[in-house]
């Protein structure tokens, strides 16, 4: 198993049809002890219970620095170490540039970018002490191509910020045995996209993708497992596209 005896923390992982839970399930199948951190209304404890015994669900808001630190402390108390962090928590909003309000901008950047920073800061001291660790940050193809189908310009900006933050952390912490990498998913079928594309529009999009289909959550989960595992021991500062060829650059 690729992640035997590893402890993996996944933010925003309680949505059963989302990228985070697919990653949690695949990491658990590969031997990891998984911690799902999400908002109270998402019921992370129930999500963790679906994985079987030995996993943990924690309530926490990634935009709250103290909550991130408390979550890291709870993980260390339960398992004694933190090997993998998947910064998956994120939100989107499909609005145009001139319609973005200050509150919109703050909300999107708070969860997607500030949350990535705060949660990384929370686990880095433990990883430093271990002299090992892997942080996987979920960005988006919209950060690379400038806009997406379900995200506005502020979402693209936030996810581009995630790319820059991850690369800077990779450069800073590599000497301490900590790897930091990004995944840039394309259009993935999750609850966010459910019912929002007509069959005709979906077919139009699929026709522009070399692999001729939309992605599914396990496509992204597989990339997370790879980057979290020792198979990627010499990978840091990487941006791994999981988009079916939607953007080739």
Mind listing the pLDDT tens digit for each residue in 69-81? 999 999 999 999 9
Q: Is residue 149 part of a domain?
A: yes
**φ and ψ at residue 13, rounded to 5 degrees:** -100, 10
119 touches 86 (CB < 8 A): no
Catalytic position from the list 105, 118, 155, 234? 155
- 35 Cβ contact partners less than 8 Å away, ≥ 6 residues apart: 7, 8, 9, 10, 48, 55, 56, 57, 58, 71, 75, 78, 79
Q: Is residue 163 part of a domain?
A: yes
Q: Is residue 249 part of a domain?
A: no
Q: Is residue 1 part of a domain?
A: no
Number of domains in the chain: 1
Residues in the chain, how many?
A: 249
Q: Is residue 248 part of a domain?
A: no
Tell me the three state secondary structure of residue 14.
Answer: coil
Q: Is residue 194 part of a domain?
A: yes
Q: Is 155 a catalytic residue?
A: yes
Q: Is this prediction's pTM over 0.95?
A: yes
How far is the C-alpha of 11 from the C-alpha of 8, rounded, in Å? 10
- Rg for the chain, CA atoms, rounded: 17
Q: What is the pLDDT of residue 69?
A: 99
Domain of 136: which CATH number?
3.40.50.720
Tell me the three state secondary structure of residue 117.
Answer: helix
Q: Is residue 189 part of a domain?
A: yes
Tell me the three state secondary structure of residue 58.
Answer: strand
Q: Give pLDDT tens digits for 4-28.
A: 999 999 999 999 999 999 999 999 9
Q: Is residue 2 part of a domain?
A: no
Residue 194: which domain range? 7-242
DSSP designation for 237: S
């Amino acid at each position: 198993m690729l992640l035997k005896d590893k402890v993996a923390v996944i933010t925003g992982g309680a949505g059963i049809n989302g990228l985070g839970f697919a990653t949690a399930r695949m990491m658990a199948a590969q031997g990891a002890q998984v911690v799902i951190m999400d908002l109270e209304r998402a019921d992370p404890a129930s999500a963790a219970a679906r994985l079987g015994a030995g996993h943990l669900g924690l309530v926490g808001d990634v935009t709250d620095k103290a909550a991130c630190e408390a979550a890291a402390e709870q993980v260390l108390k339960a398992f004694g170490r933190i090997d993998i962090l998947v910064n998956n928590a994120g939100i989107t909003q499909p609005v145009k540039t001139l319609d973005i309000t200050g509150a919109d901008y703050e909300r999107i950047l708070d969860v997607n970018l500030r949350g990535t920073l705060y949660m990384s800061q929370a686990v880095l001291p433990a990883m430093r002490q271990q002299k090992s660790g892997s942080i996987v940050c979920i960005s988006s193809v919209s950060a690379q191509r400038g806009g997406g189908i379900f995200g506005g310009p502020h979402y693209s900006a936030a996810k581009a910020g995630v790319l820059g933050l991850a690369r800077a952390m990779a450069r800073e912490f590599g000497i301490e045995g900590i790897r930091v990498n990004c995944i840039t998913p394309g259009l993935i079928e999750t609850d966010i996209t459910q019912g929002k594309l007509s069959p005709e529009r979906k077919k139009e999009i699929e026709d522009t993708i070399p692999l001729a289909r939309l992605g599914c959550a396990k496509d992204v989960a597989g990339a997370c497992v790879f980057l979290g595992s020792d198979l990627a021991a010499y990978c840091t500062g990487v941006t791994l596209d999981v988009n079916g060829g939607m953007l080739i650059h």
